[in-house]
Structure 1
Amino acid sequence: MPQITVDYSEQLADAFDRKGFALALHPLLVDVAGATTDSCKTRFVRTEGSLVGDGAGRDGIVHVMIGLLPGRSPQTKARVTEGALDLVRQYVKPAEGLTLHASAEIRDLDASYRKSSDA
């Protein structure tokens, strides 16, 4: 915990500094949500064939989903998602004429959540 999944459209593959984003997001989660750096795990999923509206525009999509153990206040969750969106804007440099659609959400991990790490 936190379990972070970042979906991004293929149009942004060359414009998205994914490592830089994750390395900036992890300290945000430590400072705002009380996570530890070593517990932050981010994976990036490149999506193909995304479409916005009627498909007439040139659009890129980034969606950040952060899974946290329950107990954070709505205000804390909002601070994290707002910070994540700020970071998306910093670490995605879309091409001229491409509209960036960014979103972020936090979900509470289910009580069944378990993890394992083998060194």
Structure 2
Amino acid sequence: MPQITVDYSSPVEDAFEVDGFARALHETVVDIAAAKPESCKTLIRYDCLSVFGYEDPEEEGHALVHVTIGLLAGRDEETKARLTEATLELLRRYIEPEDGITLHASAEVRDLDPSYRKFER
């Protein structure tokens, strides 16, 4: 915990400073949600083809980024909302799309299901 997933699409792959974003996000999660730094884990997935509305995907006029942060239950809604807003602010800072590209960025913070388990070796 926390379990973080970042999904992002073309055409921002060259405009997204992924490493810096992930480090800054970990610091933000520690600061806002009282997570332990060594517990922050982020899976970053690049999607080479995303579809927006009725647009031809080959036109690449839109880029999608979505961040999901899963936390163990116990944080209040205000904390989760602050973390969501901070995540969006980091996306603004670490992604600068080219002219003509509309960036659709979103984030959510949710409680992990009570069935969540993990192991380390």
TM-score range, shorter chain: over 0.9
Question: What is the CA-CA distance between 1:48 and the residue it aligns to?
Answer: 2.7
Is 1:2 matched up with 2:2? yes
In the alignment, the residues of structure 1 paired with residue 88 and residue 73 of structure 2 have an alpha-carbon distance, to the nearest angstrom, of: 21
Which residue in 2 is equivalent to 1:75? 78
CA distance in 2: counterparts of 1:117 and 1:13, whole angstroms: 31
CA distance in 2, matches of 1:29, 1:93: 22
Which residue pairs with 1:101 in the alignment? 104
- 1:25 Cα shift? 0.4
The runs of 4+ residues in structure 1 deviating greater than 3 Å are none
Q: How many residues align?
A: 118
For 2:71 and 2:45, locate their aligned partners in 1 and report how far apart those are by CA, in whole Å. 19
Distance in 2 separating the partners of 1:49 and 1:22:
22
Matches within 5 A, 1:53-92: 53-55=53-55, 58-92=61-95
Please name the residue that 2:48 is paired with: 48
State the identity %.
54
Paired residue for 2:22? 22
Name 2:115's counterpart in structure 1: 112
Q: Gapped runs of 5+ residues in structure 2?
A: none
Once the two structures are TM-superposed, the CA of residue 53 in structure 1 deviates from its matched residue by 2.3
Query: Take 2:83 and 2:94, find their aligned partners in 1: how far apart are those partners?
Result: 16
Cα distance per residue 1:69-93 (max 9 Å; x no partner)? 0111111000000000000011111
- Can you give the 5+ residue segments of structure 1 that lack an aligned partner in the other structure? none
Q: Deviations over 1:45-88 (max 9, x none)?
A: 11132122231671111000000001111110000000000000
CA RMSD between the two structures: 1.3
Matched residue type, 1:42: T
